[in-house]
Chains A and B, each alone.
Chain A
């Protein structure tokens, strides 16, 4: 019931909202997929990654380069980008999952910094700091409303599939490896394999968000691969509440609204971002969604 009401609201939104708000909503959707894919690792696998922008950026760059340099259409470029990025996630998973905890975090960060540096320096391929421009959207979705519906459909499908993944027995096993890795291993589960499959799965959804990202902006810059982008995704997950299905979406909306509104008034977006990081960790470590839920339960039990 609630979901149906939400769906009606979202479908009706472009009919009433202005173009600026419709575009902002599309950006929130794209960022929500990205944050939800980080949440798979962080919230359900207990694996804190600081390199998830790699998948977003590499998928975006691959699709852009295939279109620009080889003149391939979206029908070939998009699956090729998804496949290539997922294969890269397979490889990165082999390296990064040699460690857990802090080591995992440092490895994912180092790997993504390598890609970022390469995108910056390999001017012949990526045009460095200028970024790649002159890209197109598939299906001629050039006005705000039609792209909004495209992004909405893609986001709904992605979130539904990710929710299915988390709710499946495999998802339960993944949560098991988060809470009791040794016990899971004693019960005969292959902890490493569970983590690796989840890593690759999260990488795939990162790639999906990357494709939507490059379709939306029709432009790609190395900053999409940067630590800032990974960190903003991580912030969205933690702000919204990691390990919950709705959390990353709420967090993505918070971060995107902050970024779009506040940066229009304040030039020092990075300082603000840093402050938000510090404040959230110090004052609301559990995130907004669980925090509100807890308050709601307290309120409901009182009446």
Chain B
């Protein structure tokens, strides 16, 4: 959509905290992820409809407004949920490690990997194989022409923004058992997400997947081997990719 959105880290954190509250009412992580995602999606929709809409094409304005909202969200989360980290329990049937060929894998993480692949495939199919996806792509590529042939670009963009926000929120809930919810989660997630997008390329789902795999591997090994320099190591693949392919691994246009 070519909207600079810096609230994503905060939306992720908001999702995680909402997940905490929903789990107190009904102890089912998947329901919590769904509801948390929906709530964050609704918030994202309002943000897009009433604020970002007015700033179309004004990158700097979008950046500042979304950054402003990121601060407000993070601060209000601190007011509502307090400053202590809140763990989210792992669902019971996924607590046993999964044994495959003599290796033990934590079952919950395997489930998260499977789920993320499913979500990624669903998104790919939505964007590339459906009429809705084609209309969204048309709106991004040439908004005026798309409008001229009768595509409701504005409504679609609000929808896409909701979808993105909702996925960030649901991601926060699902990531909860691994990372728990704590103040500063947003600042930890944002650089990771940015590096993933820079690595993979803007406007590319395959790029986002490749980027997050590389980042995940490098970050995990980096933290294990050189805990103090993990951030520096994280950033090395980015330099290489940017040096040789400024638009990222799979990017269609330069960011």
Chain A interface helix/strand/loop/mixed: helix
B216 CB-CB contact with A under 8 Å: no
Chain A hits for B75, CB < 8 A: 268, 270-271, 274
Chain A hits for B18, CB < 8 A: none
Q: Which residue of B lies closest to A125 (CB)?
A: B228
Other-chain residue from A121, A268, A270 in contact with B231 (beta carbon distance below 8 A): A121
Verify A95–B242 contact, CB threshold 8 A: yes
Verify A99–B254 contact, CB threshold 8 A: yes
Verify A99–B255 contact, CB threshold 8 A: yes
Verify B191–A113 contact, CB threshold 8 A: yes
Chain A hits for B51, CB < 8 A: 278, 282
Q: Which residue of B lies closest to A105 (CB)?
A: B63
Chain B hits for A238, CB < 8 A: 60, 64
B74 CB-CB contact with A under 8 Å: yes
Chain A hits for B234, CB < 8 A: 114
Other-chain residue from B55, B198, B231 in contact with A107 (beta carbon distance below 8 A): B198
Q: Interface readout for A243-268 with B: 1 if CB under 8 Å, 0 if not?
A: 00000000000000000000000001
Verify B191–A274 contact, CB threshold 8 A: no
Smallest distance from the beta carbon of B14 to chain A beta carbons, Å? 14
Verify B228–A275 contact, CB threshold 8 A: no
Verify B239–A95 contact, CB threshold 8 A: yes
B227 CB-CB contact with A under 8 Å: yes
Chain A hits for B195, CB < 8 A: 110
Which residues between 211 and 254 of chain B lie within 8 Å of chain A, taking CB atoms?
Answer: 227-232, 234-235, 238-239, 242-243, 246, 254
Q: Which of A4-12, A80-88, A200-208, A227-235 has 4 or more CB atoms under 8 Å from chain B?
A: A227-235
Other-chain residue from B67, B69, B227 in contact with A231 (beta carbon distance below 8 A): B67
A18 CB-CB contact with B under 8 Å: no
Q: Interface readout for A50-94 with B: 1 if CB under 8 Å, 0 if not?
A: 100000000000000000000000000000000000000000000
Chain A hits for B228, CB < 8 A: 118, 121-124
With A95-B239, A107-B242: A282-B65 Cβ-Cβ less than 8 Å: yes
Chain A hits for B198, CB < 8 A: 103, 106-107, 110
Verify A118–B231 contact, CB threshold 8 A: yes
Verify A98–B68 contact, CB threshold 8 A: no
Verify A282–B54 contact, CB threshold 8 A: yes
Smallest distance from the beta carbon of A285 to chain B beta carbons, Å? 6
Which residues between 31 and 55 of chain B lie within 8 Å of chain A, taking CB atoms?
Answer: 51, 54-55
| Count, chain B residues at interface, CB 8 A | 45
Verify A101–B243 contact, CB threshold 8 A: no
A111 CB-CB contact with B under 8 Å: yes
Complex Cα gap A42–B64 (Å) = 13
Verify A110–B69 contact, CB threshold 8 A: no
Give the interface centre of B64, B70, B254 by most chain A CB atoms within 10 Å: B64
Verify A285–B231 contact, CB threshold 8 A: no
Chain B hits for A107, CB < 8 A: 198, 242
Chain A residues engaging chain B, CB cutoff 8 angstroms: 42, 48, 50, 95, 98-99, 101-103, 105-107, 109-111, 113-115, 117-118, 121-124, 226-228, 231, 234-235, 238, 268, 270-271, 273-278, 280-282, 285
Give the interface centre of A95, A113, A118, A123 by most chain B CB atoms within 10 Å: A113
With A48-B63, A118-B229: A270-B191 Cβ-Cβ less than 8 Å: no
Smallest distance from the beta carbon of A234 to chain B beta carbons, Å? 7
Other-chain residue from B54, B68, B190 in contact with A275 (beta carbon distance below 8 A): B68
Verify B72–A275 contact, CB threshold 8 A: yes
The 24 listed contacts between A and B (C-beta, < 8 Å) are A50-B63, A101-B59, A101-B255, A106-B194, A106-B197, A106-B198, A106-B255, A114-B191, A117-B230, A117-B231, A118-B229, A118-B232, A121-B228, A122-B229, A124-B228, A271-B76, A273-B68, A276-B68, A277-B64, A278-B51, A278-B65, A278-B69, A282-B51, A285-B61
Q: Interface readout for B178-198 with A: 1 if CB under 8 Å, 0 if not?
A: 000000000100110011011
B30 CB-CB contact with A under 8 Å: no
Verify A277–B255 contact, CB threshold 8 A: no
Chain B hits for A117, CB < 8 A: 191, 230-231
B71 CB-CB contact with A under 8 Å: yes
Verify A227–B246 contact, CB threshold 8 A: no
Chain B hits for A282, CB < 8 A: 51, 54, 65
Q: Which residue of B lies closest to A100 (CB)?
A: B254
Complex Cα gap A64–B17 (Å) = 38
With A99-B254, A274-B71: A48-B229 Cβ-Cβ less than 8 Å: no
A107-B242, A274-B75 given; name 6 further pairs at CB < 8 Å.
Answer: A95-B243, A102-B255, A103-B202, A114-B234, A278-B65, A281-B61
Q: Which residue of B lies closest to A46 (CB)?
A: B60
Complex Cα gap A39–B121 (Å) = 43
Chain A hits for B205, CB < 8 A: none
Chain A hits for B74, CB < 8 A: 270
B79 CB-CB contact with A under 8 Å: yes
B147 CB-CB contact with A under 8 Å: no
Other-chain residue from B55, B79, B227, B255 in contact with A268 (beta carbon distance below 8 A): B79
Q: Which 3 A-B pairs have the closest CB atoms?
A: A277-B68, A103-B255, A274-B71
B4 CB-CB contact with A under 8 Å: yes
